[in-house]
Amino acid sequence: MDLQLKDKSALVTGSTAGIGLEIARKLAVEGTKVIITGRNKTKLDQAVDSIRSSGGAYVSGVLADAATEEGAAALVRATPNVDILVNNLGIYEMKDFAAITDADWRRYFEVNVLSGARLARAYFPGMLERNWGRIIFISSESGLVTPAEMIHYGMTKTAQLAISRGLAGLTKGTKVTVNSVLPSPTRSEGIIDFLKSLASDPAAPPEQIPSRSPAGHRGPNYSAAAVVTTTSTKAEQASPTCCERRSTSSTATRKPRPKRRPDIPPGRVPEVRRGQLSRLHPTFIDLCTKSRH
């Protein structure tokens, strides 16, 4: 596909594996100048080589921890301006609510929320000045239906939606868009290690490790395709809506607006049972772009 991104630059955080790596790969294959980040130089170099071997000619790596204030400053010094920012960095775990410490809450907010807010704060003004830009937060369906065993994680995913929606309101009349992508559980390298830690037989081959999601875990390519589609130069034509991806096609199909049930007051959302989103909507794109005026 040609998303007309050959003259654009992109920074993808958390991009040495999983969804982040596949997003960076797809953008690079489109001809975008891609910058990836990581804390481990060996993994960073391997990721750069992997993207280049896939046909992405313009890719470089910056050794920095994007979760910290110092790491974000290093990234901005290395790449003062970018056209596309994908805030993919994030951590997760299962933990009883009573066992989540103050330090846990602060750490999850710092890594999952503040890391993206810092970079958006650094790059958003330049995008508005140039009248073109894309900021994408990789949230999760957990931001809408918070798992009882991952409340601190779900909180951060909801916070990302709040930031992206607020920023989107500042893009009215421009060609800048701010979006959130809400993937269902993804079978990435990190998720496999996570599932192994919970499995009855951690030594079993990855394909035999059972999924803990009702819909199973899809590969990172599935969500990466949704993300890259929203970076297209045509994406500013989209109105605020919730789109669903039913296949790995690059086209995000717009769902018709459902009729409001008479028993639900305006502004209220009906309760959704856990797992229902996974079964019905494999990947959501929360298009927080401006309305067409």
Find the CATH number of the domain harbouring 70: 3.40.50.720
Q: Which domain holds residue 57?
A: 9-254+275-287
Total domains, the chain: 1
Of 136, 105, 109, 132, the closest CA to residue 120 belongs to: 136
Contact present, 145 and 190 (Cβ < 8 Å): no
CB atoms within 10 A of CB 107: 14
Of 293, 14, 274, the closest CA to residue 148 belongs to: 274
Asked whether residue 50 is assigned to any structural domain, the reply reads: yes
Q: In a structure prediction context, what are the per-residue pLDDT tens digits for the chain, which is 293 residues long?
A: 688 899 999 999 999 999 999 999 999 999 999 999 999 999 999 999 999 999 999 999 999 999 999 999 999 999 999 999 999 999 989 999 999 999 999 999 999 999 999 999 999 999 999 999 999 999 998 999 999 999 999 999 999 999 999 999 999 999 999 999 998 665 445 554 554 455 556 666 655 545 554 444 456 566 788 889 888 876 665 534 334 333 222 333 344 555 555 554 554 444 444 344 433 344 444 544 443 33
Name the DSSP class of 110: I
Cα–Cα distance for residue pair 9/83, rounded to 1 Å: 5
Cα–Cα distance for residue pair 163/73, rounded to 1 Å: 20
- Which of 108, 123, 153, 222 is catalytic? The answer is 153
Helices of type H across the chain: 18-29, 41-53, 69-78, 102-108, 115-130, 151-168, 189-198, 220-230, 276-280
Tens digit of each residue's pLDDT (9 = 90 or more) over 184-238: 665 445 554 554 455 556 666 655 545 554 444 456 566 788 889 888 876 665 5
Asked whether residue 293 is assigned to any structural domain, the reply reads: no
What does the pLDDT read at residue 236?
A: 62
- Separation of first and last alpha carbons in the chain: 29
Asked whether residue 265 is assigned to any structural domain, the reply reads: no
Q: List C-alpha distances in Å: 89 to 77, 222, 264.
A: 19, 18, 36
Asked whether residue 263 is assigned to any structural domain, the reply reads: no
Asked whether residue 183 is assigned to any structural domain, the reply reads: yes
- Residue 153 is among the residues annotated as catalytic for this protein: yes
